[in-house]
Structure 1
Amino acid sequence: MQPRPASTLALLRDTEQGLEVLMLQRTLKAVFMPGFYVFPGGAVDDGDRDLARSGHLYGHDDDSASALLGLPEGGGLGYLVAAVRECFEESGMLLARDSAGQWLDGRHPVMDGRWAVGSGEADLGDLCRSHGLALSLDGIAYLDHWVTPPGPPRRFDTRFFAAVAPPSQVPAHDGEETIDHIWIRPQDALEDRRQGRREFATPTVSVLRKLSEFASVDEVLLYARDRRPQAFPTQPWPARKGDEVVYIEPGRPAYDEVCKL
């Protein structure tokens, strides 16, 4: 099974307590990772690719986006558009600018289209056209790249991005796929995981560890500009546990050590 392209976007803000990131809690009824805290994100769909060709974008074209992601044959712009769209659907935060190049505030009429976009009744590209908006891709940083290992029924080729949160918008979980949201320092999120207060998937933990090294949004963006993440290994590695052969998934503490043997 070929992994499906997907994008995830960590929205960041600076506070007196330090750098904070927006996280959403998945519904406890979810089949996949119920109750886990995640960044907004999801699969790249055909509408994202159509919007990527529409011209209602600011800061990237497909050549520059593909170069950012290390894709030699194009297609990178769809990942960036998907990150913005999924963030809008799941958190109500939209990275877009008006005709004057200004950030949108939470009272802009396009915000009323969030639920229609999420349900598939409206297209984000159509909303951009009708309101004279451009999705703001210029401030999106590329942080990490994970591919689901072979075996699970669903596999994703996921690019993890980060961006400063729109300053005059307020996030809100959707109450269906996500049941809570929180602004949290990455260090506190990692401590919550150690103490068993919150659950995070391994790729999310990897990004939180990266973010925890920085004191401000600008530091994160500067770091990301100088690097190109490589896809995390997708192949579980065999190891012995007594007389039994077990497979260590990428991201587990022992993975790097058993790969050396």
Structure 2
Amino acid sequence: MTKAEVDKVEGAEMETKAPPLRPRDAATLLLLDRQGDEFRVLMGRRHSSHVFMPGKFVFPGGRTDPSDGRIPVADGLLPEEEAKLTLRASRATPTRARAIALSAIRETYEEAGLLIGNRGAFATSRPDWQGFAENGVMPSLRGLRFVARAITPPGRVRRFDTRFLAAWRDDVAVELPQGGPTNELEELVWLPLEEARQADVPAITRTILGEVQERLADDPGLHPGGPVPFYRMLNHRFVRDLL
């Protein structure tokens, strides 16, 4: 797609004509649940009062906090996944890759009340990780799979270098009945992948859902080290590479 075509598709979702901005690291999590031959994904509707993409269905996620990389974990990233996250084009060191992965887990707790990890003692002074300490969950990165990457095109008011990670519902140690502590998502639903693609989702979310759907058709177990589509703008065209 050309830049003009991307702008047209995303025009209702994102403000344009902003000064040049360097993309910020962000992470989002596709939490998957398999029922027979059908795969479902957890999605939440952004609060209608939000300025950025109000009312859209999205995956839990947000901006990466570099200090997340210092949180202790039960298990680190699998070597195959760390290698993909730290490819030269990503500018990510192992420490940065760890922070990106942990931010996806933290955001899933904050927005959906789902704590990914292993049951066991956990302590930290970080206030945004106290839910894990209070519920006896040590975060674990072992089950995460890097499934896609996308950089917001230039000219947007907000630009992110987003890594899309996937995990299974079985990786969740605790589900808080009251949900997460933030008010980011006002409705959480488990949707079949095809139904999720037809929902009111951002254009890139629909694209990533299609990518994951195709990968699951070939690799239902999401084995580590699989191909990772990478979307970005080059020479005024939106391109897709494989990492």
Per the normalisation by structure 1, the TM-score is: 0.69
Distance 1:129 1:215, change over 3 A: closer
> Which among 153, 166, 188 is matched to residue 157 of structure 2?
153
2:13 aligns with: none
Q: Deviations over 1:133-157 (max 9, x none)?
A: 4212111111100001110111100
> Which among 117, 122, 139 is matched to residue 127 of structure 2?
122
d(CA) in 2 for partners of 1:202 and 1:45? 25
> Which among 77, 83, 89 is matched to residue 60 of structure 1?
77
Q: What letter corresponds to residue 185 of structure 1 in structure 2?
A: P
Mark the runs of 5 or more structure 1 residues left unpaired by the alignment. 101-109, 111-116, 238-247, 257-261
Identity rate, percent:
30
Q: CA RMSD in A?
A: 3.4
Max Rg structure: 1
Answer whether contact 1:56 1:128 (CA < 8 A) is retained: no
> Which among 177, 190, 196 is matched to residue 184 of structure 2?
177
Answer whether contact 1:19 1:214 (CA < 8 A) is retained: no
d(CA) in 1 for partners of 2:159 and 2:183? 23
d(CA) in 2 for partners of 1:24 and 1:226? 26
Once the 2 structures are TM-superposed, how far is the Cα of residue 65 of structure 1 from its aligned partner? 5.6
Q: What letter corresponds to residue 83 of structure 1 in structure 2?
A: A
Once the 2 structures are TM-superposed, how far is the Cα of residue 225 of structure 1 from its aligned partner? 2.7
d(CA) in 1 for partners of 2:50 and 2:132? 31
1:70 aligns with: 86
Once the 2 structures are TM-superposed, how far is the Cα of residue 71 of structure 1 from its aligned partner? 3.9
2:58 corresponds to 1:38:
yes
Answer whether contact 1:28 1:35 (CA < 8 A) is retained: yes
Equivalent residues in 2 for 1:1-261, closer than 5 Å: 1-16=21-36, 18-51=38-71, 55-60=72-77, 66-72=82-88, 73-74=93-94, 75-99=96-120, 122-124=127-129, 133-165=137-169, 166=172, 169=175, 172=179, 176-190=183-197, 193=198, 198-213=199-214, 219-222=220-223, 225-227=225-227, 229-235=228-234, 237=236, 250=238
Count of residues in Structure 1 that have an aligned counterpart in Structure 2: 211
Question: 3-state DSSP class of the match of 2:103?
Answer: helix
Answer whether contact 2:114 2:174 (CA < 8 A) is retained: no
Once the 2 structures are TM-superposed, how far is the Cα of residue 121 of structure 1 from its aligned partner? 8.0
Answer whether contact 1:59 1:137 (CA < 8 A) is retained: yes
Once the 2 structures are TM-superposed, how far is the Cα of residue 164 of structure 1 from its aligned partner? 0.3
Answer whether contact 1:150 1:235 (CA < 8 A) is retained: no
Q: What letter corresponds to residue 60 of structure 1 in structure 2?
A: L
User: Which moved further from structure 2: 173-182 or 1-10?
Assistant: 173-182
Distance 1:213 1:133, change over 3 A: same
Distance 1:169 1:130, change over 3 A: closer
d(CA) in 2 for partners of 1:80 and 1:123? 15
Distance 1:31 1:129, change over 3 A: closer
* Higher strand fraction (1 or 2): 2
Mark the runs of 5 or more structure 2 residues left unpaired by the alignment. 1-20
Distance 1:208 1:174, change over 3 A: farther
Answer whether contact 2:60 2:108 (CA < 8 A) is retained: yes
Distance 1:169 1:160, change over 3 A: same
Answer whether contact 1:141 1:161 (CA < 8 A) is retained: yes
Distance 1:177 1:129, change over 3 A: closer
Question: 3-state DSSP class of the match of 1:184?
Answer: strand
